[in-house]
Amino acid sequence: MEQGNQLHELVQGFRELKRAFHQVVSKQAEKLGITGIQFYVLSALREQPELSMSDLAERVHLGNSTLSGVIDRMEKAGYVERKRSDLDRRTVTLHLTNEGREIEERTNLLYQKAMGKISDIPQEEITHLIRTFRSIINLLETEKEGE
């Protein structure tokens, strides 16, 4: 197979993996009454408890206006809250509520169970894939910066 076809197949594989991954996340999130995007937001806020809207948007790969609507719905549902910084009143950070932490934990358990099939892949292959993905990302980011 020539290199051009292999690269096309690689990119297509990334797309299919992303789609399959998102379907698993969405399916598990739906079981608890939230969307896949809301699960990503909850997970990001669990990993980094105080994020600004723009930092969170970057982490979950959404635009600020799209994320704002998601946060409004999550705030109304009692999963997140906005807090003004004591140091800079112009800065608003997002925080998980107790209910938000609970739903994130429950969704994460369902997600881990669903993704358990991946644990059948040998550790060396996973390590190699991670290294390869990071190399590709670094190359693409370097290319993007050079524009």
So where are the chain's domains?
A: 1-119
pLDDT at 65: 93
The domain made up of 1-119 has a fold known as Arc Repressor Mutant, subunit A (1.10.10)
pLDDT digits (tens, 9 = 90+) for 89-142: 888 899 999 999 999 999 888 888 877 878 888 999 999 989 998 998 888 888
Q: Model pTM?
A: 0.80
Cα-Cα-Cα-Cα torsion 48, 37, 13, 117, nearest 10 degrees, comes to: 80
Half-sphere CA count of 52, side-chain side, radius 13 A? 8
> How are strands ordered across the β-sheet holding 51-52?
51-52, 92-96, 80-84
pLDDT at residue number 99:
96
CB 68 within 8 A of CB 53: yes
Contact between 107 and 119 (Cβ < 8 Å): no
